[in-house]
Copies of this chain bind each other. A is one copy, B any other.
């Protein structure tokens, strides 16, 4: 089992191309996790940029990506003093699996927020939270990522969805990899779909996900708060906020996904 750093590593192959080997450990069933893919895309964007952090990442997922070799293509589109923008594509089997727009900039790790909105209701303490053991025996992701869930948001597991599209969890990587931009990319797409708490069942494919890195995260556990606003016409939205151990809002995301299909 290789660590998160190695699993998201990229190798320059010239002219904005980067080679990578996607790791089966970050999958659930056949599909690799979208946050894992965003971490790989983010590394390529930063490698091709003069800046240190992917402050804005918008991704459209076209196809399920599978473990094994893949390529990332970075096309620089604008380079400014403060930020640089690029189009970034994940290619597998000679087809685009995901397209992204990534803006890089360099955040100051010592910057204090000028203003922050209210912290969300606190998560229960770690020891009061529950580990979710995937029922299928499909342990890949759970072997890499240590998540401790607020039980009050996990009623769907026992057939008692809460009726509120909320899921909350503590998050860390099991290999000791500390929070950074790429761990945040993983964290914003690591929760089970909030729509499960509205009675939806099964796999909820993400169509689009945009996330913003708002601060350089401190070491330690991350708190991930997932919410949604509307489920309608086969679509639902899911927002996450990620707070670090120093109590700062370090990442925000919203995704648009398809309502999970009824189980057969």
Residue A145 CB within 8 A of the other chain: no
In the complex, what distance in Å separates the CA atom of A82 from the CA atom of B256? Answer: 13
- A66 sits at the interface (CB 8 A): no
Residue A9 lies at the interface, judged by CB distance under 8 Å to chain B = no
- Flag A97-129 by CB within 8 Å of B: 1 or 0 each: 001110101011001111111000000000000
Query: Who on chain B is nearest to A100 by CB?
Result: B101
Of chain B, the residue at the smallest CB distance from A87 is B99
**Which residues of the other chain, B, contact A233 by a CB distance below 8 angstroms?**
107-108, 111, 113, 215
- For A165, what are the chain B residues with a Cβ–Cβ distance below 8 Å? 115, 117
Q: Is A96 an interface residue (CB 8 A)?
A: yes
Q: Judging by beta carbons under 8 Å apart, are B113 and A99 in contact? A: no
User: Chain copies in the assembly?
Assistant: 2
A169 on the B face (CB < 8 A): no
The answer to whether A56 has its CB under 8 Å from any CB of chain B is yes
Contact at A235–B55, with CB atoms within 8 Å?
Answer: yes
Contact partner of A249 (CB less than 8 A), chosen from B108, B115, B229, B259, is B229
> Are B241 and A214 touching (Cβ within 8 A)?
no
Q: A77 near B62 (CB under 8 angstroms)?
A: yes
A83 touches B (CB below 8 Å): yes
Query: Do A96 and B113 form a contact, CB below 8 Å, given A58-B210, A210-B210, A233-B215?
Result: no
Q: Which residues of B contact A116 (CB under 8 A)?
A: 229-232
Assuming A207-B83, A252-B237, A256-B55, is B60 touching A232 (CB within 8 A)? no
- The CA-CA distance from A60 to B112 in the complex, in Å, is 26
Docked complex Cα distance between A111 and B259 (Å): 14
Whether the pair A96, B117 counts as a contact (CB closer than 8 A) is no
Residues of chain B lying within 8 A (CB to CB) of residue A252: 229-230, 237, 254
Across the interface, do B115 and A231 meet the contact criterion of CB distance under 8 Å? yes
Cβ B254 vs Cβ A235 within 8 A: no
Residues of A that sit less than 8 Å from B by CB: 55-56, 58-60, 62-63, 77-78, 82-83, 85, 87, 96, 99-101, 103, 105, 107-108, 111-117, 165, 198, 207-208, 210, 212, 214-215, 227-235, 237, 241, 249, 252, 254, 256, 258-259
